[in-house]
Amino acid sequence: MPQGKPDVVPDDGLTTRQRRNRPLTIVHTGVGKGKSTAAFGLALRAWNQGWPVGVFQFVKSAKWRVGEERALRVLGDSGEGGTVAWHKMGEGWSWVQRSPESNEEAAREGWAQVRRDLAAQTYGLYVLDEFAYPLHWGWVDTDEVVEVLRSRPGTQHVVITGRNAPAALVDAADLVTDMSKVKHPMDVGQKGQKGIEW
Amino acid sequence: MPQGKPDVVPDDGLTTRQRRNRPLTIVHTGVGKGKSTAAFGLALRAWNQGWPVGVFQFVKSAKWRVGEERALRVLGDSGEGGTVAWHKMGEGWSWVQRSPESNEEAAREGWAQVRRDLAAQTYGLYVLDEFAYPLHWGWVDTDEVVEVLRSRPGTQHVVITGRNAPAALVDAADLVTDMSKVKHPMDVGQKGQKGIEW
């Protein structure tokens, strides 16, 4: 079990308090399950801290994340923890009036909004769900993302999920977990199941 | 992105519907972050399906899982999804009157209750958080656990987290993800942070 003790004492000129509140860039990548579910698990902790949580869902699927979305909306509306804002590319981002001409354009619009929110310090935690795909495909420029994340103000944490996270993003991130598939029911013919896949 | 399509068509004598509702044994292991957070993310899906969720927290730490516990309690009490029962070893399992003499005994008592609940089909999803440790340490017999899971009635899903999941458990499981550490802030002297580690 992790003991919460660092391996080395850093020589970074920061106080312990500053280090405690350092904004983290977190990446969940790899071909195994659990990348997004772990990100939404992190959202529970952020909600519990009273932080505003912003979810940007960079996927198009009616079925995906319905459970997480409903749960986080109930939590956000409970008045007990932080607020939750849920933004979906699949149905057209709510702040964009017209329909985007392509998934590529939609992904870019999503990133542009994330960038504006980071500048405005809108959220305490950003869940950029499946954002690794538009980066991997080159729809959104990874170098620009890295630069925006590096220079973001305040203590905003960002978690990015998806297979094939670009190397430059992994290099720039503070915490990277690779979810490796050891075994999956689909290997032996099992289809996706409610409560498990969605 | 997973397309939900199996690689092979199984020759198991089951109907598609039976296969759809097959109870899964899921293991999140490895040294990286996200094992438990992904399990609690799964709990959101189960809650959304209206399933009773049972969490058995096989760890002793005041700080761990406080966010997840509060969030799942709010969800369970909301009346919108499934119920949530949260059991903690660290404070003494609620169904045991006297204090256990050791962590080993406490872990065994936890497993005994899981076994009773599986027989009674109490929950739709069981989160056995950090249960891999008492198995790895030999406090609870892995072969017994595997046999109880194999013969459990109904469609109860079980997710087990923790490093060092025993090979026999991995063999018996349907879905296994290894969370590998690519990079962690503690490597460079960062201490645990609120909203991230708890």
Cβ-Cβ contacts under 8 Å, B196 against chain A: 24, 26, 42, 45, 157, 175
Mean pLDDT of A163-181: 94
- CA–CA dist A47, B195 (Å, integer): 8
3-state secondary structure labels for all residues of B102-148: CHHHHHHHHHHHHHHHHHHCCCCEEEEECCHHHHHCCCCCHHHHHHH
pLDDT of residue B7: 60
Compare all CA atoms of chain B with the CA of A193 and give the residue at the minimum distance. Answer: B20
Collect all residues of chain B within an 8 Å Cβ-Cβ radius of residue A4.
186, 191-192, 197
Residue A10 has a pLDDT of 64
Cβ neighbours around A97 below 10 Å, total: 7
Whether B46 sits inside 8 A of A28 (CB atoms) is no
pLDDT average, residue stretch B126-131: 97
d(CA B185, CA B128): 27
Interface probe with B: pick from A7, A18, A37, most Cβ of B within 10 Å: A37
ipTM: 0.82
CB B189 within 8 A of CB A9: yes
B186 falls in which pLDDT band (50, 70, 90)? confident
Given a cut of 70, whether residue B17 has pLDDT beyond it is no
Q: Which of B26, B66, B183 sits opposite A176 (nearest CB)?
A: B183
* CATH fold group of domain B22-180: Rossmann fold (3.40.50)
Q: In the predicted model, is pLDDT for residue A140 greater than 90?
A: yes
Q: What does the pLDDT read at residue B98?
A: 80
Strands A175-183 and A84-88: unpaired
Which of A183, A187, A198 would you mutate first to test chain B, the one with the most B CBs within 10 A?
A183
Amino acid at the residue B173:
A
Residues of A in contact with B32 (CB under 8 A): 177-179
Residue A185 or B25, more confident: B25
Q: What is the average per-residue pLDDT within B19-41?
A: 90
Residue A2: predicted pLDDT: 44
What are residue B56's phi and psi, to 5 degrees? Answer: -120, 110
- In chain B, residues with a C-beta closer than 8 Å to the C-beta of A70 are 48, 80-81
What 3-state DSSP class applies to A69?
Answer: helix
Cα separation, A171 vs A74, in Å, equals 36
Are B133 and A59 a contacting pair at CB < 8 A? no
The model's pLDDT over A34-90, given as tens digits with 9 standing for 90+, comes to 999 999 999 999 999 999 999 999 987 766 789 999 999 999 999 999 999 999 998
Share of residues in chain B with pLDDT > 90 (%): 66
Q: Is the pLDDT of residue B107 over 60?
A: yes
Do A81 and B71 make contact, defined as CB atoms within 8 angstroms? yes
**Per-position DSSP letters for B157-180, written without gaps between them:** EEEEE-SS--HHHHHH-SEEEEEE
pLDDT at res. B36: 93
Of the pLDDT bands very low, low, confident and very high (cuts 50, 70, 90), residue A168 is very high
What 3-state DSSP class applies to B78? Answer: coil
Residue B85 has pLDDT above 70, yes or no: yes
pLDDT of the residue at A192: 81
Q: How far apart are CA B196 and CA A48, in angstroms?
A: 11
Tell me what pLDDT residue B148 has: 98
**A18-22, A31-35, B190-194: least confident range:** A18-22
Higher pLDDT, B69 or B196: B69
A-chain CB neighbours of B47 within 8 Å are 67, 71
Average pLDDT over residues B173-190: 86
Rounded to a whole number, what is the distance in Å from the CA of A118 to chain B's nearest CA?
A: 18
- pLDDT tier for residue B68 given thresholds of 50, 70 and 90: very high
Which chain B residues contact residue A27 at CB under 8 A?
Answer: 182
The mean pLDDT of B117-144, rounded to a whole number, is: 97
pLDDT at B195: 84
- How far is Cα A136 from Cα A162, in angstroms, rounded to an integer? 9
pLDDT tens across A4-15, in order?
A: 555 666 666 766
Segment A80-139, tens digit of pLDDT: 999 999 999 988 898 888 888 889 999 999 999 999 999 999 999 999 999 999 999 999
The superfamily in CATH containing domain A22-179 is: P-loop containing nucleotide triphosphate hydrolases (3.40.50.300)
Q: What is the mean pLDDT of residues B55-79?
A: 90
For chain B, the domains span 22-180
For an interface test with A, the pick among B25, B29, B36, B37 (most A C-beta atoms closer than 10 Å) comes out as B37
